[in-house]
Structure 1
Amino acid sequence: MAKIVVVGSYVVDLTARTPHMPKAGETVLGGPFRMGPGGKGSNQAVAAARLGAKVTMVTKVGKDLFGEDALRNFTKEGIETKYISQVEEESTGAALIAVDDEGENMIVVSLGACGTITEQEVLRAEDAFLDADMIMLQLETSLEAVTSTINLAKKLGKPVILNPAPYQNISDDLLKKVTFLTPNETEAGLLTGVEVTDETTAQEAAAILLSKGVEVVILTLGKKGCYLLKQGEEQGKLIPGHVVKAVDTTGAGDAFNGAFAHFLAEGCTIEAACVKANKAAALSVTKHGTAPAMPYLTDLE
């Protein structure tokens, strides 16, 4: 069984459907409204756990109703909660999500407690790191948490998957310690200055990221799939995605990352893990919500 530690965010998703995205100053009558577990870290943990991985979550929530819901949801998904801190001085994070009739979304995230994860809170989970096949993290927490996670994983010789979302400015010194970097087109553009619009620009952006020391770059390209480039290769490869009827694209990247981590830790090749991760991402957008939309292994099969 794949063993994965996820250091990242938990926020409660507050999602409203809208016929179109409101302009500045505009009020739109929408509906229905849904509330559920979310946050990139939490979503990726659920995605991996539902596929069969043994997942340990390292995050921080408030001592409030949303925080209690978080612990219940993780337990229900079979995710280890030993290293989840619950604090009174910060509220549990929340994401305000609008989804239009085409399934596209706009999101505002208030990180709350998970934005204050400290180095000490990461180091407290060292035993879980020691037992892990893979360490996964995002940029939806404090940079202190990101830096300490990567440094601890490097010290212990554990591979790191960094999903650089939402974009934050991270140093090249940190990037060179990352094993797998998984930006989407927007994040790749912000990291490299290259606007990713096709396979040629994907290759250009991925090559720049490899030059910073990253071992493997996987650019996620939505329904087009993903672009894979590894150190030592001059040319990357486009791994096609799947065309489905999307009802909600929120969390598709999280489904990809969680599935990629699981299948890679299970022993799949990088390319095979990408193929399966594309399937997981495609399935996730055919359902409403983020964590609730993550597919199970039987769905992929």
Structure 2
Amino acid sequence: MSQRLPEAKGSRMPSSANPPRVVVVGSINMDLVLTCAQFPKPGETIAAGSFNEVPGGKGANQAVSAAQAGAQVKMIGRVGDDGFGDRLIQGLVKHRVDCESVIRTNQCESGLALIIVEKSGQNTIVTVAGANGQLLPEDIDRLRAVIETSDVVLLQLEVPLATVHRTIEIARETGKRVILDPAPIPDGLADELLQVDLICPNEREAEQLTGRSIETPEQIEAAARALHQRGAKHVVITLGEQGAYLLDERGGRLIPPFPTDVVDTTAAGDAFAGALAVWWAEGATVEDAVRFGNAAGAIASSRLGAQPSIGSRSDIEHLWNTQS
């Protein structure tokens, strides 16, 4: 970047005396993870170093992150009636996520993601929606009471957009805070899906949402302001090893990262979103919540896999105390 972004200074540790209630509406996948020395080129066959089946899905990952960070978490989603369905629910329950609102879908496969991780820790991901694509607005209407009893609702875009929109409507009607991780980005995302309390795209997603290149501090700020103008009250653009850029009522500034040795970035954004939601709901400023999200993302980046890589609250607090 041509200039340094202004950095935020100072932070405080939030209280965990009253665990917040977080509802996650989103995807539940089984991740098929391959590790290799480099990504294959078109038409090229390469040998993988390892293969693992790991519970994932952006929604499920964020639910685990929020639970690990100390929240009472309820998951709204769908799994199939295949062999993965029970395993996916068991994985969430193991991490203390309430799955009473996870619907089993007959004659349908569970969501899948094929993930290739290369030696730098970067990844490529191809998903199959499966049962995630069957989570419909009428499901959200039936589960309205779950949303009404929450403090924060976490959303992503791996379920039908109409379902995301209906969730936002109900959360707004009932005065609940909404955080949207806008991934994966569909073509022509309507502004009504951006009417949220906080949106947290990464740099590439921010470029797709705004049609703006993001290379300089000025371009990052312009993209954040464009998303704010489209309806998001707070905008956070995650910048990988540079940290995260926050735009709120105080203006824009960079929230510095927590240095880490990158192994796999698959769940870093999900760990970030879940931890941010918890600390913000506990009464921390959005700036401090973003800082905690950075710590959670750093921990997840240092470990292989999606849900197994997500750190506990004590992990995050330890990193906060040693590097803040």
TM-score, normalised relative to structure 2: 0.90
Report whether the alignment pairs 1:170 with 2:189: yes
Aligned partner of 1:114 among 132, 143, 155: 132
- Cross-structure match for 2:32: 14
- Cross-structure match for 1:74: 92
- Cross-structure match for 1:209: 227
Residues 215-267 of structure 1 deviation map (CA, whole Å, 9 limit, x = unaligned): 0001111111110112x45x401101122111111111001000000111111
Report whether the alignment pairs 1:262 with 2:278: yes
Q: Which runs of 4+ in 1 moved over 2 A?
A: none
Whether the aligned pair in 2 keeps the contact of 1:117 and 1:141 (CA below 8 Å) is yes
SS at match of 1:29: coil
Once the two structures are TM-superposed, the CA of residue 193 in structure 1 deviates from its matched residue by 1.0
Once the two structures are TM-superposed, the CA of residue 56 in structure 1 deviates from its matched residue by 0.4
Residues 9-57 of structure 1 deviation map (CA, whole Å, 9 limit, x = unaligned): 0010000111110011111101211111000000000001011100000
Using the alignment, how far apart are the partners of 1:113 and 1:194 within structure 2? 34
Once the two structures are TM-superposed, the CA of residue 289 in structure 1 deviates from its matched residue by 0.3
What is the letter of the counterpart of residue 139 of structure 2?
E
Aligned partner of 2:158 among 130, 137, 140: 140
Once the two structures are TM-superposed, the CA of residue 136 in structure 1 deviates from its matched residue by 0.5
Structure 2 unaligned regions, length at least 5? 1-18, 318-324
Using the alignment, how far apart are the partners of 2:121 and 2:191 within structure 1? 35
- Cross-structure match for 2:12: none
Using the alignment, how far apart are the partners of 1:282 and 1:78 within structure 2? 22
Aligned partner of 2:83 among 47, 65, 73: 65
Once the two structures are TM-superposed, the CA of residue 125 in structure 1 deviates from its matched residue by 1.7
- Cross-structure match for 2:65: 47
SS at match of 2:180: strand
Whether the aligned pair in 2 keeps the contact of 1:252 and 1:281 (CA below 8 Å) is yes
- Cross-structure match for 1:249: 265
Aligned partner of 1:188 among 201, 206, 219: 206
Q: Identity over the aligned pairs, expressed in percent?
A: 40
Report whether the alignment pairs 1:276 with 2:295: no
Q: CA RMSD in A?
A: 1.0
Whether the aligned pair in 1 keeps the contact of 2:164 and 2:193 (CA below 8 Å) is no
- Cross-structure match for 1:239: 255
SS at match of 1:71: helix
Once the two structures are TM-superposed, the CA of residue 123 in structure 1 deviates from its matched residue by 1.6
Once the two structures are TM-superposed, the CA of residue 89 in structure 1 deviates from its matched residue by 2.6
Whether the aligned pair in 2 keeps the contact of 1:199 and 1:238 (CA below 8 Å) is no
What is the letter of the counterpart of residue 224 of structure 1?
Q
Structure 1 unaligned regions, length at least 5? none
- Cross-structure match for 2:307: 291
Using the alignment, how far apart are the partners of 1:178 and 1:89 within structure 2? 34
Whether the aligned pair in 2 keeps the contact of 1:165 and 1:183 (CA below 8 Å) is yes
Using the alignment, how far apart are the partners of 1:12 and 1:76 within structure 2? 15
> What is the aligned length?
298
Whether the aligned pair in 2 keeps the contact of 1:224 and 1:242 (CA below 8 Å) is no
Residues 155-209 of structure 1 deviation map (CA, whole Å, 9 limit, x = unaligned): 111111000001123211332x211011111111111111112322110000111
